[in-house]
Amino acid sequence: MTKKLLIAVMGQRNSGKSETWKVLFNDKNIRTTPKSERILKVGPNNEYTNVFLINGSPQERGKRVEDIIQLNYNPEIALCSIQFKKDALNTLKYFHDNDYHIYLHWLNPGYHDSYEYPDSENIIQEIMKMDSLIGKRSGKTIASLRVEEIKNYLYDWSKRNGLLKLL
């Protein structure tokens, strides 16, 4: 069975998580819609894949990720903002337990951070025990740089797993 994919952007409050999704979708007002997958153009020839977006981390919303996604809904590809705090592991564990490969950008420093902060909660070490690929990125650089990386990863993943479609 092919694993599903979680693309996550993790950082402190106002680190650039939502900005990543705004640039990826070219939509300044991008929102989460329950049980609603979106079309995301990822390839050079009008190729797209369907994704489910959680913009606004479960931690900041005070909700569990399973309450946002809702029961019995299992998107092949999920995109999720995650606030950097111990509770982030609950969100990541949900995806891990539901057979998702985790591709994560840790925004450190974040856009509004004055300095790079340590992983005082050992979150990164715990994520590395899961099926994951983690990269630290600066939230101070323009979002289009990390968005291009994410799009390339999404394209390659979707192509390998038969999830690309043509517009």
CA distance 8 to 54: 9
Residue numbers of the chain with a pLDDT score lower than 70: 1-2, 34-35, 71-72
Backbone phi, psi, residue 23, to 5°? -70, -40
pLDDT score recorded for residue 167: 83
pLDDT score recorded for residue 72: 58
How many angstroms separate the first and last alpha carbons of the chain?
A: 27
Residue in this structure with the two tokens 């050992």, named with its chain if needed = 122
Domains contained in the chain, CATH given: 4-111+126-162 (3.40.50)
pLDDT score recorded for residue 19: 96
pLDDT score recorded for residue 34: 66
Residue in this structure with the two tokens 């009008």, named with its chain if needed = 46
Report cis status (omega within 30 of 0) of the bond before 109: yes
107-to-14, 72, 121, 162 alpha-carbon distances in Å:
10, 31, 15, 30
pLDDT score recorded for residue 66: 86
